[in-house]
Chain A
């Protein structure tokens, strides 16, 4: 029987290998469609640095790229999420891995620079971590980069800022903007796994719980939908009036935090910004409230502000820090870090199969097409082809638009668009 390991050395490469094999089994798009795409040899001898949360799903993406002839170097995008047994398994497979597990941020940054020093042609990046680091610390290598494929909303924002500043001399593809990424990863993946992590860490129940979701983007929507489907009373706080109206029509109670928080037994932040729960919000929390974050920033819940307002705090059980505020106690999960990754096992495999297929196809697109410098989406045809490959793997057939339907659209569109 395989056993769970603690993330320390020496790690068992067999366990990592088993995890990667499990991922492969549930990643039909990467394993067939992307492999076929890369089969043209476009990545032969090309150096690709893969900088994503270093666990089994990322390892499989790295393997697929390496099998296509790419010279792959792998690094973790967050020092806290690197899995020792996966690093060991990748090393045993002969891939170059620069990251080691642990919380040391300085070491993590040195390791990222090691990845930069291998002189990569392309980056598969998460949060634009390596891209921005190279721009700052390895400008000559940065200038040689031929392209970046970026995973997240946050990274995309950074890349756009670089472009505006005239500091992006190569093409960057935003995987997050692909429909096969954000429609599934953000909604279904994060929605399911955030609740999984909250329930696993707390042993609590959703039926009858009052769940407040802060932010109603794709992630917030997913969390709220699954929570309500499991019989929670859901509440949504949102600053965008259109999204707030959508939340209302989806059947959630909408209101300002000051009104929602005194009722909420579970509060989940999903804004992608900072200080979504801060300052006076903390005074509105009820006794026993559980706080979790699924947005990108560790600073989405103002943990320092919470500590400053508290009389004391203690680690009550793994992943739960309990703050005492007068007569009240509030419980923070996973230190306010992404609860589904820091306090769980990350996204479901099937979801990452889609997201990483976008990344793999993105790198191929960069290597085979003359793309102008700047931030771009992956072509819609690739997006469609990935979804079609997933459907085919499920044995699902879909209808094709008939000629008369296509003609109808072609006839009417110009007319409709005219004033």
Chain B
């Protein structure tokens, strides 16, 4: 297999991205634009990068140390892209790579978790002054950007790609849900049938994890701080309990909040021997990793699984060092949902270069028009057909 094999495998599964790429290439709207992309560096992202470049953009790539697919990173270098990504890079090296990436002076940042946007605001204010704007992929990134904007600290317009319906309704639920649950099974060679799986957080990712775990026979318990979401979990057939209560008989815990400290040391201490701890969507910051490491060095019990001995005497097994499971130990989200999400990213870059050029700082939604365009393109590919809006239906919708 060639290094690029996985990139080529993904390409035909991304028909929407292909059509968006063709559209941008034809319009010339992003020709000459310097686009810095900092997403999970894997085969689907590679197809976005190649599509942007084919549309005339100058593409610069950054990838995190924990999620970068090394073969893809090197394959992109071979194709002439500037890549700032090394899997397993040390803390210091990570900082060097991130700063070198920003030093290339991108006009637009395509970001994941708002890591680069925040870093640029803190360390490279001159870049922020000249940028057209940025796009953000995740819930975890949009939240701090809104907080920044509320405090008047945000200096650029940001398109919240995550908040598009064709993103969070699909990517977060079906993509992250399926791939994180399956990555756990691949890593552990265990079953979910009959196991008690505690899902912390019932946002879109938590909902997807809970659904897929239940589909595989798990008994799902959801812990939530939002009463409406908790009620929704109840209606979806899951048991709802505080994490402190649920901890006592948890066999698998999926943190799916995107929030630091979602699972506390005290809660982990209540968990039974052999509990598996992992993160879906967010990162290790959701788990009490510092506490676990303070207990003594973890012992690798199999690839991707580290065992810590709790004060209670029980053993807690952390999967993928607590990093988002599907990216750290699998191939990320499925191709189909990334076709939607990454097509939106390409359209958002185009949007910043055209209609949104010169907009004041703020967090902006993807327009409903682009959402519809992406959904319709995918439906066409699936051979589905839509009911046309007749004059009578149109009138009915407007009547009051």
- Residues of chain A touching chain B, judged by Cβ–Cβ distance below 8 Å, are 1-4, 18-19, 21-22, 25-26, 188-189, 192-193, 195-196, 199-200, 202-208, 226, 229-231, 288, 315-318, 320, 344-346, 348-351, 394
Contact = CB atoms under 8 A, between A and B. Distances in A.
Contact of B9 (A2, A22, A317): A317
Given A2-B300, A25-B274, A345 B186 contact: yes
7 closest cross-chain pairs (CB), A and B: A229-B215, A205-B334, A348-B191, A207-B174, A317-B5, A205-B336, A203-B331
Contacts of B363: none
Contacts of B1: 315-318
A129 to B, nearest CB: 24
B303 A2 contact: yes
A19 B301 CA distance: 8
Contacts of A195: 182
Contact of B191 (A188, A199, A231): A188
Given A4-B303, A315-B1, A316-B9, A346 B189 contact: yes
B56 interface: no
A193 B216 CA distance: 11
B3 to A, nearest CB: 10
Given A200-B182, A226-B215, A22 B12 contact: no
B162 interface: no
A21 B302 CA distance: 9
19 contacts: A2-B300, A2-B301, A2-B302, A18-B301, A188-B191, A189-B191, A192-B185, A192-B193, A199-B178, A200-B182, A200-B330, A203-B43, A206-B178, A207-B336, A316-B8, A317-B6, A348-B185, A350-B190, A351-B191
B175 interface: yes
A231 to B, nearest CB: 7
Nearest to B185: A196
A26 B186 contact: no
Contacts of B5: 316-317
B85 interface: no
B191 A205 contact: no
B212 interface: yes
A344 to B, nearest CB: 7
Contact of A344 (B43, B186, B302): B186
Nearest to B183: A200
Contacts of A394: 194
Contacts of B335: 202-205
Contacts of A193: 185
Given A192-B193, A229-B216, A317-B6, 12 more contacts: A1-B300, A18-B302, A19-B302, A22-B189, A22-B302, A22-B305, A199-B179, A203-B332, A206-B178, A230-B216, A348-B189, A350-B190
B32 interface: no
A230 B191 contact: no
B337 interface: yes
Contacts of A208: 174, 336, 382
Contacts of A199: 178-179, 182, 334
Nearest to A187: B193
Interface residues of B, number: 42
A252 to B, nearest CB: 15
A76 B302 CA distance: 22
B217 interface: yes
Nearest to A331: B9
Interface in B234-279: 274
A346 B188 CA distance: 11
B13 interface: yes
A344 B188 CA distance: 12
A204 B339 CA distance: 11
Contacts of A315: 1
Among B186, B191, B215, B382, which residue has the most Cβ atoms of chain A within 10 A?
B191
Given A189-B191, A200-B330, A230 B303 contact: no
A206 B334 CA distance: 9
Contacts of B194: 394
B191 A350 contact: yes
A192 B303 contact: no
A3 B330 CA distance: 14
A196 B182 contact: yes
Interface in B325-344: 330-332, 334-337
Contacts of A207: 174, 178, 336
Interface in B148-181: 174-175, 178-179
B205 interface: no
A196 B174 CA distance: 15
B10 interface: yes
Contacts of A348: 185, 189-191
Nearest to A25: B274
Given A199-B178, A315-B1, A316-B5, A205 B337 contact: yes
A195 to B, nearest CB: 8
A345 B179 CA distance: 17
A205 B178 contact: yes
Interface in B190-227: 190-194, 212, 214-217
B51 to A, nearest CB: 18
A320 B9 CA distance: 10
Nearest to B5: A317
Contacts of A231: 174
A13 to B, nearest CB: 14
Given A200-B182, A205-B178, A226-B215, A345 B9 contact: no
A349 B336 CA distance: 31
A229 B220 CA distance: 14
B193 to A, nearest CB: 5
A261 B179 CA distance: 26
Contacts of B300: 1-2, 18
Contacts of A346: 189
B191 A192 contact: yes
B393 to A, nearest CB: 26
Interface in B312-367: 330-332, 334-337
Contacts of B191: 188-189, 192, 348-351
Among B9, B13, B337, which residue has the most Cβ atoms of chain A within 10 A?
B9
A404 B186 CA distance: 48
A199 B174 CA distance: 13
A28 B363 CA distance: 54
A351 B191 CA distance: 8
Contacts of A19: 302
Contacts of B175: 205
Nearest to A3: B303
B302 A192 contact: no
